[in-house]
Every structure is written in C-alpha cells, then in structure tokens.
Chain A
Amino acid sequence: MQATLSLKEKIEELREKIPEARINALDELLHVGLPARKHEEYKYTPLTRFYEEISGKAGKTEIRPDRYTDPEFILKADTHKLYIINGMFDAETADIPKGITVKTNDTPGLKNPKGHDAFDLLNDVLFTSGCNIMVPANFTVEKPLVIINVIDKASSVSESHISNRIHMGQNAELTIIEVQHYIGENESFDSSVSNYHLEKDARLNSYTVQVDGNNNYHYNSHHVHQESGSVYNNFTMTLSGKMLRNNHNVTLDDSHCETNLLGFYFADDQQHIDNHTTVDHRKPDSNSNELYKGILKGTGKGVFNGKIYVRPHAQNTLAYQSNKNILLSDEATVHTKPQLEIWADDVKCSHGCTAGQLDNEALFYLRSRGLSEDYAKAYLLNAFASEITDEIKPAFLKDYLSDLIHHKLSSNDR
C-alpha cells in the first residue's frame, strides 16, 4: 500500500515538529492507520482514498482575508461572527460577545486517543488552530455566535484541519452556527473536530451548516460531554460538497440530561453524505431524541449509522432514533443502520429507519386536486424536509435553509 506508506512518512516527519501533547495521537494514528476500504465504520465511505489523493496534491495556500465575503444570509443577520481561514482562527476580526472568552485553540482534543476514529487522530496531529470558547456560569449569550470556517482553495488544492472547543459553565446558554464556506473550484480536504463540554444545567444549541462548496471532502466530528440537567441540541444540514462524513458523539454523563439531534441531508449526482451518530447514556433519567431525514437524487449516496448505548446504570432512559429517506431515482442509494446496545432493563428505546420513494397515493391525491405532478412532488418533498427545518430557531437561518432546499428541489428535473 504505497499511499499509506507515504502518509506514514508524512506523519512520522511531524514527530519532531509537533508539541508533546500530540504525540500520543500520532503514535496511535501510526498504529491504526487511516480506515482501509473494508473498515466497518467506513465501508461505504472511502474517505481515506480521497484524503491521500488530495493531501498529495495540496499546495501552500496564502491566507487572503480580502478574498472572501460572507455568505449572504449571514451578512444580513444580527449575529456575532468568528472566522477561521484555511485553518487559522482570525483573532483580529473576531466579534466576541461581551461576557464570554474566545481564544485561539491550541489544545489537542484527545486525552486518550485509543478507540477514536482515525480521522480524529489525524486532526489531533495536524490541526493548526480553531477557537476556544468559554461561557461563564449563569451567562446567556443573546445573539447567535457564527463560526465561519473559510476554505480558500482558489489558487491551489487545499488541505486544512481545525479544532474548536466550547466550555459551557453551569446554567450558561449559547447558540452557535458553524458554517462551512468554500472559495474556488479546486479540490480540498478539510477536517473539523469540535469538543463541547456542558456543565450542570447548561444549554447549547448548535447548528452545523454544510451548504456550500463543491469538489470538497470534509470530515466533521463532534464530541459532546453533558453534565446533569444540561440540554444539547444539534441540527446538521448537509446540501453541498462531494463527500462528507459527520461523526456526532454525545455522552450523557449524568442524570436529567436532554439531547436532541436533528439532521437533514440532500445528496444529488456525485454527492456522498455520511452521518454517524453515537448517543451514550451512562447515567439514569436522561432523554435523547434523534431524527435524521435524507433525500437522495440522481446518483447521490447517503449513509446513516446511529448508535445508542444505554449503560447498566442508566435506568429510566428514554432514547428515540429515526432515520427516514426518500430516493428519487433508481441510481440513488442509502445505507442506513440503527445500532442499539442496551444493558439497563428499565428503559424506553425505539428506533426505525425507512427508505422509499415518494408516496404514490399522496402524489395522486394532490394531483387529483389540480396540482401538477412537479408541484405535487415538490410539495411532498418540502413537507418531508419541513419536519426538520421547522425546528430551526433563528428565523434567518430557518428561512435561508428552507429556501435552499426548495431551490435544490426545483433546480432541475425531478
């Protein structure tokens, strides 16, 4: 395996250059290697191949903040903004809400690298910066905080790795919107790893917005740690990109935690969107709720894998999971797999997944009222998406994303 060897060499070279704290991840990465084609967690998503390909071609991109403009929906919205440009947190332009701390993140994410996704390890070794956000106890940030991850690949193939941290003090509240923003047509590979810690009764609403770029390969990983009474809400929306892998791992490490994971993905020709989630109930009396919906069109591919663990002590857990897919063509595919492992005996858990075409009965019903077939289809698909988009709280984001979906649905032949 020539490619792997060269990666090995590249990683090994870094040994002398990176801080001590990252050596564990480096050793572990050298030990396990990036996931091969038959790796259980990556059998549908050959991200390794594309990483190696792009990494070999990536040039040094100069950082030119003057070259990008905000995506329009952010320009108009009343928010705080932080920029990360080609892997570097831009502290100068950062609009930091009063009362909270935002610093450049240089703390590696992994205390113990064992058992982690190899791309997490890769990120831990290679990440260049990111933001480190601390919200003090009992503090509520009123306006959403937008983190714009700018990948400028206009002048060359690009590779970048960032890592963000958020620490929520007791009873603190924050809404963050993470936006992937790509400039230029070259290929790129970028990874983004986020570590969130929620102390008692903290509330974090996070939106992961992947609606920009083509020709980009993206690895995204969230590790969320919840203490008692905390509430974590995430909404992941994926419309653009060539191949994306999202790992969302939430640990409910105390009682009365609440976790809501919502996802919507829409893969068109040549797009590949993979969502892996893990919800780990470790203590009693917590709730988790998960709903991911996808539309696959043309040769679009979707992957969903949802793990729920209910540990022996986690009695009285409520855990729900659902993944629903609509396939709009014969060539579109989805691989969906719920994986529940339950050791406690007094719990309520359910899961379900569906993959099918648009309901012909529903189509006929609408047509029999005078709606054209195209309208009827768009109606049903928008309705399918609205179960998710209706839950988006910031109005500007909800309107923007609903419009984008609508646009993508009506962009060409259905």
Chain B
Amino acid sequence: MLKITNLHASVEGKEILKGINLEIKAGEVHAIMGPNGSGKSTLASVLAGREEYETTKGEVNYMGKDLLELAAEDRAREGVFLAFQYPIEIPGVSTTNFLKTAINQIREYRGEEQLDAVTFLSRMKEKMKLVEIDQSLLSRSLNEGFSGGEKKRNEIFQMAMLEPKLAILDETDSGLDIDALKIVANGVNKLKTKDNATIVVTHYQRLLDYIVPDFVHVLYKGRIVKSGTKDLALELEAKGYDWIKEEVKETV
C-alpha cells in the first residue's frame, strides 16, 4: 500500500529526515517510535502533505501513485488520514458542518454520489458511539473548549467518518488519561480491516498495549535504525532509548 524509499525532508533548510525506508501492506499496523526530535512527527506531516516540509530526495509510492505529487486535500481524497498531535481549534466551524462538506468533496473526487443528509446523520450516530463522543460537541466550534481527551476522540471520530485506507496517528496518546486512551484505542481497533493500514507514531509503549502493532520501527536522527515486532517496543519501555543511541554510535 505504501512504500517509502530513501526519503529526505527538511524544514527551513534543516534536514530532519535523512533517508527513510519503509513498506506497509494492507491490514498491517506499524508503530514508529523514537526519542524526542528524532523526526517522527515530521514523517507524519510529510505523508499528510504539510507544505512547510520540503522533500529533497526519495520517493513515496502510495497505491501506485506518487504521494508527494498530490496536494494535501487529494491525499485525503485518496484515503490518507492524519490524526493530529495537536488538533487545532477553529472558531465558527463545527465538526459536523465541515465534515459533511469534506465527505462530499471526497465523494465528488471519486466520482461517487453526494451523501444525503439522512445517510450522513445515521453514519454519524453510528460512529459517535464508537468513540463515545456526544453530538452536542460536534455541533460546537471545532475543538474550542474541548478537553484533551475530547479533541483526540474527535480526531478518531473524523477518521471513522472518512474511512481512510491509510491512517496516521501522530502521538494520539499524548495528553490522554488511561480511560481516554482505552476509548481512542478501542475506536482505532474497531476500524481496522484487512484492507486498511495504520501508522501509530508514539513516544511511549503505553498505547501499544491497546493498539497492538505488527511491526515496530525506531526512528533516530532522521533514520529508521531498528525494526522488529511488538517485543521491540517492550524492550524500549524497559531499557529506554539510550542503548539504541549507543548502537547507532557504534555502527557509525
């Protein structure tokens, strides 16, 4: 589904990603871990099409298309979804309202019929249950006055509504208490099918107790320096990141 080859990216002239290689197949869950500043969020942003990041080298092939050539909205329309680390507040725009427009623009792009109001609402009701989010929250200004947990649940709610093929969760666990974490993880797990894939970007192993990854990759200084199974995450939890840093030093 996704093949990243030797990806280099920089922001404001500073190179952050220095040759990422990663392949993700449908039905898989990949966790990207790593110490602060290693480039995890940059990778998520580059994949979602954030314009401040300049990709200087490498390729990203997504379902046969050159992902880097697509505008952010077209990536969304092709089925890429980014759950934001810091979901922003937009006064005057309600989730319900913009999501309806978004879904219909996506459908138009795909040459599908517009979603009528009744179908939209019934789909909304169904997905709201999934992340235990209240309708009143969704008719309010986006994320304005929401708690940290509510913001993250709203991200997963939007993911549920948009039914992406490739979901990228950027530090979705940050700022969540254990109950909120379980709700969010449960939502993500229920959305998992054999046809979609998930990238979980996280600093801590905690989230991976609930969203069990097929593969774990450690990102350090802009490169994937180690890959393994979920046991690697447990090892990192027990030993921290220092031994990885040591290993990298030795190989350089």
> Quick one: CB contact mask for B146-158 with A, threshold 8 Å, 1 for yes?
0000000000001
Residue B50 at the chain A interface, CB threshold 8 Å: yes
Evaluate whether A365 and B105 lie within 8 angstroms (CB atoms) in the complex, with A370-B73, A371-B73, A379-B98 already known.
no
Contact present for A365 and B73 (CB under 8 Å): no
**Minimum C-beta distance from B60 to chain A (A):** 16
Kindly identify which residue among B48, B49, B90, B158 contacts A383, using a CB–CB cutoff of 8 Å. B90
Residue B106 at the chain A interface, CB threshold 8 Å: yes
> Quick one: CB contact mask for B44-57 with A, threshold 8 Å, 1 for yes?
00001111000000
Contact present for A368 and B88 (CB under 8 Å): no
- Could you say which residues of chain B place their CB within 8 Å of the CB of A379? 93, 98, 101
Contact present for A380 and B90 (CB under 8 Å): yes
Residue B82 at the chain A interface, CB threshold 8 Å: yes
- Could you say which residues of chain A place their CB within 8 Å of the CB of B2? none
- Could you say which residues of chain A place their CB within 8 Å of the CB of B204? none
Kindly identify which residue among A361, A367, A369, A386 contacts B71, using a CB–CB cutoff of 8 Å. A367
Q: Spell out A's residues near B (CB within 8 Å).
A: 359-362, 364-373, 375-376, 379-380, 382-384, 386-387
- Could you say which residues of chain A place their CB within 8 Å of the CB of B91? 383, 387
**Minimum C-beta distance from A317 to chain B (A):** 27
List the 9 shortest-distance A-B pairs measured between CB atoms, nearest first.
A383-B92, A370-B76, A367-B72, A370-B106, A370-B102, A369-B102, A367-B73, A383-B93, A386-B92
Residue B225 at the chain A interface, CB threshold 8 Å: no
Besides the contacts A368-B49, A372-B73, A376-B73, what 18 more A-B pairs have beta carbons closer than 8 Å?
A364-B51, A367-B49, A368-B76, A368-B82, A369-B76, A369-B102, A370-B77, A370-B105, A370-B106, A371-B98, A371-B101, A371-B102, A379-B93, A379-B98, A380-B93, A383-B91, A387-B91, A387-B92
Kindly identify which residue among B50, B92, B162 contacts A369, using a CB–CB cutoff of 8 Å. B162
Contact present for A365 and B92 (CB under 8 Å): no
Contact present for A375 and B90 (CB under 8 Å): no
Kindly identify which residue among B88, B109, B158 contacts A362, using a CB–CB cutoff of 8 Å. B88
A368 to B99, CA, bound (A): 11
**Minimum C-beta distance from A377 to chain B (A):** 12
Contact present for A362 and B90 (CB under 8 Å): yes
A387 to B91, CA, bound (A): 8
**Minimum C-beta distance from A163 to chain B (A):** 38
- Could you say which residues of chain B place their CB within 8 Å of the CB of A384? 92
- Could you say which residues of chain A place their CB within 8 Å of the CB of B82? 368
**Minimum C-beta distance from A324 to chain B (A):** 11
Residue B215 at the chain A interface, CB threshold 8 Å: no
- Could you say which residues of chain B place their CB within 8 Å of the CB of A370? 73, 76-77, 102-103, 105-106, 109, 162
A383 to B102, CA, bound (A): 16
A365 to B151, CA, bound (A): 13
A-B pairs with CB below 8 Å: how many?
Answer: 72
- Could you say which residues of chain A place their CB within 8 Å of the CB of B98? 366, 369, 371, 379
Contact present for B48 and A361 (CB under 8 Å): no
- Could you say which residues of chain A place their CB within 8 Å of the CB of B50? 364
- Could you say which residues of chain B place their CB within 8 Å of the CB of A367? 49, 71-73, 76
A369 to B103, CA, bound (A): 8
- Could you say which residues of chain B place their CB within 8 Å of the CB of A375? 101, 105
**Highest count of chain A CB atoms <10 Å: which of B51, B82, B90, B106:** B90
Evaluate whether A373 and B92 lie within 8 angstroms (CB atoms) in the complex, with A364-B50, A364-B51, A366-B98 already known.
no
Q: Which residue of B lies closest to A372 (CB)?
A: B73
- Could you say which residues of chain B place their CB within 8 Å of the CB of A382? 92
A361 to B85, CA, bound (A): 12
Residue B241 at the chain A interface, CB threshold 8 Å: no
**Highest count of chain A CB atoms <10 Å: which of B75, B81, B101:** B101
Residue B84 at the chain A interface, CB threshold 8 Å: yes
Q: Which residue of B lies closest to A382 (CB)?
A: B92
Q: Which residue of B lies closest to A366 (CB)?
A: B98
**Minimum C-beta distance from B79 to chain A (A):** 10
A29 to B201, CA, bound (A): 71
- Could you say which residues of chain B place their CB within 8 Å of the CB of A369? 76, 98-99, 102, 158, 162
A386 to B76, CA, bound (A): 27
A369 to B100, CA, bound (A): 10
- Could you say which residues of chain A place their CB within 8 Å of the CB of B87? 365
Kindly identify which residue among B71, B93, B109 contacts A373, using a CB–CB cutoff of 8 Å. B71
**Minimum C-beta distance from B155 to chain A (A):** 10
- Could you say which residues of chain A place their CB within 8 Å of the CB of B72? 364, 367-368
**Minimum C-beta distance from B151 to chain A (A):** 12
**Minimum C-beta distance from B120 to chain A (A):** 14
- Could you say which residues of chain B place their CB within 8 Å of the CB of A376? 73
- Could you say which residues of chain A place their CB within 8 Å of the CB of B84? 365
**Minimum C-beta distance from B4 to chain A (A):** 19
